[in-house]
Structure 1
């Protein structure tokens, strides 16, 4: 009996180490204290805590179910933009999540630190201060921006800033696949977020997929906006709330999913939209005040086989390619 108990302790310790490396919650590995305890609760050694203590619900029921409760509060979350021109969509989703985090933390003076390199700020631009308060409920003076000369400096700033109590969330925005952003660096950043108990968002623009320690990776692309909804129905020719397409590239549950999310700037909540072609407008509207576009091409017929050209159609000696000119004899 003693040997089996020791073996169970060793196995449990190994499972805890694996869970920490993978970024999952080791508390899920423990058995419930009582058999009658609800299965939806997470058990800790010092008591019982609900899933809301560990996860941030996005408000989209289907997305939260696929993620296993929402985004982890004290962890590294990767928001992946495949192209630089999609930087606005990826940054917009990051600000949506930050708005939800600030609403959940209930700290009036909490700050948000946005870290990036000069390269990414030059390519993707800076957050527009005048729209932060209206769109996301984030006062401009609560957003701090740090410009680092190199990606390694940006990661160092993020690790140190995660310790500051006045900062509620940290956003690290990087472009491409820098050499310093490897599995070891992201594991260190994820560990710092866990120790500090606050979220760190890794916002990656125009990057190729590569392994990171973030337990959740969201792939973000722009989505066509829907028509503005009124009491009488959709308003023709209008543009509704901003929308993004979010695909789960990595999560604790390993469940795939793709969602069209809309941000309600009045209520500051995320909503899922069941996409339909008749209730959306193009991402970029057609240009106005120009001539009609060219007509569509007609039926394409096969060309006739080449025939010997007439004597007058032969190219001159100077026009012939060098490799086709006759060789001199002798």
Structure 2
């Protein structure tokens, strides 16, 4: 009996330690009224057992935290699936499966940073290796001001020659409360970015109360200490909205396809979000709006033609050049002599 109680206490202690690392605190569930408790299950939290006290059961679940602990995206369905939004004091992973999605991933993170910077003038530090900045480029300063409302002096960059240096800068910066957020952008699936490295970043973010965004470009999904992983790609933009209706042939607000790869609630979901640069807010695109947008013809019908092109006639095979009796089967497969220079002549550069 004593061995069973010690085993339960060990399991509860391990669950609490894992929940602390992942940023999900265990909940306490009170037993129904009138039910006689058989044993105390909250001994991992502390306190001596009481014979007539209500039993408390620990289970892994949602963290009981105030609404200010989460960064709400403003999209009702996405925030509900994430149990309130992205955690502010935690490591969050924003993942792009392909290199061509680097712009979409960066734009989505900058949108989140725009929501964080509302009402505070603190700067944001963007850390990356020379390889990732050479491949994806740097954000355009004037575009930051016009699209996201981020002043150029609020975005600081740190270019590291190696991933080891970038991780060191991110860990040291995550301890600073003078920064509004830290962005660490990497490429691929390096071995140095393991559970130990991400746990350190997550712990520093929790202690400082600041978000750390891990941007992964063209890498496979691997285990990390981040409680939330969002997979982001570019979505087709709709036409620009005017008073008279959509403007044909124009490009509207930037759009993102966001899929939940990992969350505290373990609820899957895929959403199409549009960023409104005037309001600095996300707007969810409904599925029927997407179908209506895709139903528009991409190439307009050519003018001056009333009937479609006629169908092709019967395809016939012509005999080889010359008499079939005089030419051997091997010779029939060869082109005629006047045609030979066209096949073996040198290709013109001009």
Distance of aligned partners of 1:222 and 1:260 in 2 relative to their CA distance in 1, 3 Å threshold: same
Pairing 1:225–2:244 present:
no
Distance of aligned partners of 1:302 and 1:71 in 2 relative to their CA distance in 1, 3 Å threshold: farther
Secondary structure of the 1:217 match is strand
Distance 1:140 1:56 in 2: 23
In the other structure, the counterpart of 1:321 is: none
One of 277, 282, 292 as aligned partner of 1:278: 292
Secondary structure of the 1:181 match is coil
* TM-score using structure 2 length: 0.73
Task: Please state how far the C-alpha of 1:179 moved relative to its aligned partner.
Answer: 2.0
Question: In terms of Rg, which structure is larger?
Answer: 2
Distance 2:114 2:257 in 1: 19
Distance of aligned partners of 1:88 and 1:311 in 2 relative to their CA distance in 1, 3 Å threshold: same
Pairing 1:234–2:246 present:
yes
In the other structure, the counterpart of 1:67 is: 82
Distance of aligned partners of 1:191 and 1:314 in 2 relative to their CA distance in 1, 3 Å threshold: same
1:101-132 CA-partner distances (Å, limit 9, x unpaired): 112xx422x01000001100010000111111
Q: Contact 2:127 / 2:170 at 8 angstroms: preserved in 1?
A: yes
Secondary structure of the 1:167 match is coil
Task: Please state how far the C-alpha of 1:263 moved relative to its aligned partner.
Answer: 0.3
Secondary structure of the 1:314 match is helix
One of 93, 111, 124 as aligned partner of 2:123: 111
Distance 1:315 1:193 in 2: 78
Distance 2:6 2:247 in 1: 68
**Which ranges in structure 2 are unaligned for 5 or more consecutive residues?**
34-61, 300-307, 318-323, 333-350
In the other structure, the counterpart of 1:312 is: 328
Q: Give the total of aligned pairs.
A: 291
Distance 1:309 1:219 in 2: 68
In the other structure, the counterpart of 2:272 is: 260
Task: Please state how far the C-alpha of 1:277 moved relative to its aligned partner.
Answer: 3.3
Distance 2:135 2:96 in 1: 13
Q: Contact 1:225 / 1:242 at 8 angstroms: preserved in 2?
A: yes
Superposed CA RMSD in Å reads 3.6
Distance 1:153 1:30 in 2: 42
Secondary structure of the 2:175 match is coil
